[in-house]
Amino acid sequence: MKLSVLHSLFDAAALSALAPLMALAIGALLVLLAGLTPLSKAARGLLVAASLVFAGVLNARILLAEQVPGVVLDGVFVADRATAMWGLIFIAGVAVAWLFSRNYYDEDSSHQNEHDVLLLATAVGMSMMAGARDLIVFFIGLELLSIPLYALAAFRRNRAKSVEAGLKYFLLGAFAAGFFLYGAALVYAASGTLSLDVFADPAQRAKVLESPMALVGVAMLAASVFFKVSVFPFHVWVPDVYEGSPTPVTGLMATGTKAAAFAFLLNALLALPTSSATSVALIALITMAVGNLGALLQQDVKRMLAYSGIAHAGVVLLAIAGAVGGDPQPHGALQAALFYMAAYVATAGGAFGVLALLESDGERMTTLDGLRGLGQRRPYLAAALTVFMLSLGGIPATGGFLGKYLVFSVAVRAEMIPAAIVGVLLSVIALGYYLRVIIAMWMQAPNEDSPLASTKPIAFSARLASTACVALVLLMGLLPRWFLEHM
């Protein structure tokens, strides 16, 4: 068997399945090496951009090809249209975080190189998580994502908040990793395999889940992944970590990590019996309620977006609940989650990015008070942030609306209409705080004593990223045909 893995490493399907990951990994190594050379910052940036673009093209090739590589490497990894789309979403998330980070770390800019390497590594990890058909492969992906993120969270190491965020994230993340491994061990002991295929087949699944050991194992696995997507009751770390981390990294945590964990959850949770749909839906609704009510109380927009991220995790979980509950549309939940997360990457990534731009050194520009009158001072940034807020709130003409539409479609199709109605009403609460951001920017005069936004011109990279995010959000909202057909 070991030999066959070696052989299959070199067949065409496996190569094409792993090509995007390799492009990112090789890119990361090259950037690392480039740090030793006297190459300029711009040249090194070009290297990062090239590897992201190259990986994106390789994913697009799988997405648009007639024949997808499918399951490779003895069934531990899969590359199909869905994973290719996930891959594109991850790359977009990393690209947004990277572009906004270019001019973010003034005082630590000497470490920009390490920063970029870590960012690229997270992209490899996320892609691996999405394609994993085996618990151990998934775990490697998870760690490949998490460990760089611990470092990135603490990247502004001369700031107490950043270090605190890194430490908190690391400690809790380590626990989650432990849970995952223990759970995987229990599942292995009960079923004799680590492959997710066991759960794909209803008969086998029922047999495995008969043993209490496997049940405990599955519960531990779920707890670990719920931690990553920040689903209730595993969400409490989110506000502190998101607030303390450097803002572009927060954006990546909110979008990329969540997307990767959902890519896995979509496979794994579908293993649940139909009867558990109600409990999953309940968890989803509680998560939405906790996130939205928490966000309503925040004065700091970054922290508010952290809570809103919890709520958004709840929304996607509702789609999964619908799928568990017997959505008659095949891959309906997958399409909904892909579209929702793609829109979310552009929206939340862009929103965190704009906040990153506004954080002038040392001063807290990200409070609602600090945003007052931004529409007058910096109309373009304020307009971008307005589009992002409306998209997060799910208002039509933005990608967020169609994402919400698709997610609630899954619940309606599974005949969970009460849950859907409670869900949409909870999302009305969400508008309550998104609108406050818009109010602060456009409808309130600036505070006399509030720090003025830094007057330094916006860097090209950040301008590119925010424009691209706005364009993507509007494109997904107004002309979604291509996205719907490929998701």
Instruction: Answer for the pair 237, 150: CB distance below 8 angstroms, yes or no.
Output: no
Segment near other proteins (CB under 8 A); pick from 20-28, 285-293, 345-353, 432-440: 432-440
User: Closest CB to other proteins among 435 and 458?
Assistant: 435
As a three-state string, the secondary structure of 43-97 is HHHHHHHHHHHHHHHHHHHHHHCCCCCEEECCCCEEECHHHHHHHHHHHHHHHHH
Give the nearest distance from C-beta 346 to other proteins in angstroms. Answer: 18
Sorted by sequence, the CB contacts under 8 Å of residue 267 that are 6+ apart come out as 133, 196, 199, 200
Segment near other proteins (CB under 8 A); pick from 52-60, 278-286, 329-337, 345-353: 329-337
Sign of CA dihedral 103, 105, 110, 113: negative
Q: 100: closest CA among 312, 358, 343?
A: 358
Segment near other proteins (CB under 8 A); pick from 123-131, 259-267, 275-283, 436-444: 436-444
Q: Enter the tokens of residue 194.
A: 């680590």
Q: Contacting other proteins (CB under 8 A), which of 38, 158, 328, 457?
A: 328
Q: 342: closest CA among 121, 84, 79, 147?
A: 84
User: Closest CB to other proteins among 297 and 428?
Assistant: 428
Q: Contacting other proteins (CB under 8 A), which of 427, 465, 469, 472?
A: 427
Give the β-pairing of 70-72 and 77-79. antiparallel
Q: Is 432 in the site for other proteins (CB under 8 A)?
A: yes
Give the nearest distance from C-beta 423 to other proteins in angstroms. Answer: 9
Give the nearest distance from C-beta 420 to other proteins in angstroms. Answer: 5
Q: Is 18 in the site for other proteins (CB under 8 A)?
A: no
From the number of C-beta atoms within 10 Å of its C-beta (0-12, 13-18, 19+), residue 418 rates as exposed
Instruction: Answer for the pair 221, 135: CB distance below 8 angstroms, yes or no.
Output: yes
Q: Give the x/- contact pattern for other proteins in 442-461, rule: CB under 8 A.
A: xxx-----------------
User: Closest CB to other proteins among 12 and 445?
Assistant: 445
How many residues of this chain bind other proteins (CB under 8 A)?
Answer: 36
Q: Enter the tokens of residue 215.
A: 């049940």
Instruction: Answer for the pair 121, 98: CB distance below 8 angstroms, yes or no.
Output: no
User: Closest CB to other proteins among 12 and 479?
Assistant: 479
Give the nearest distance from C-beta 438 to other proteins in angstroms. Answer: 8
DSSP string, 352-382: HHHHHHH--TTS---BTTTTTTHHHH-HHHH
User: Closest CB to other proteins among 187 and 371?
Assistant: 371
Whether the upstream peptide bond of residue 233 has omega within 30° of 0, thus cis, is yes
Give the nearest distance from C-beta 29 to other proteins in angstroms. Answer: 41
Within positions 365 to 424, which residues make up the interface with other proteins, using CB under 8 A?
A: 390, 395-397, 401, 405-406, 408-409, 412-413, 417, 420-421, 424
Q: How far is CA 312 from CA 307, 340, 345, 385, 407, in A?
A: 9, 9, 11, 18, 11
Sign of CA dihedral 142, 148, 152, 154: positive
Segment near other proteins (CB under 8 A); pick from 238-246, 287-295, 324-332, 459-467: 324-332
Give the nearest distance from C-beta 339 to other proteins in angstroms. Answer: 11
Q: In angstroms, rounded to a whole number, what is the distance separating the alpha carbons of residues 291 and 312? A: 8
Give the nearest distance from C-beta 479 to other proteins in angstroms. Answer: 8
Q: Which residues bind other proteins (CB under 8 A)?
A: 328-329, 332, 335, 390, 395-397, 401, 405-406, 408-409, 412-413, 417, 420-421, 424-425, 427-428, 431-432, 435-436, 438-439, 442-444, 479-481, 484-485
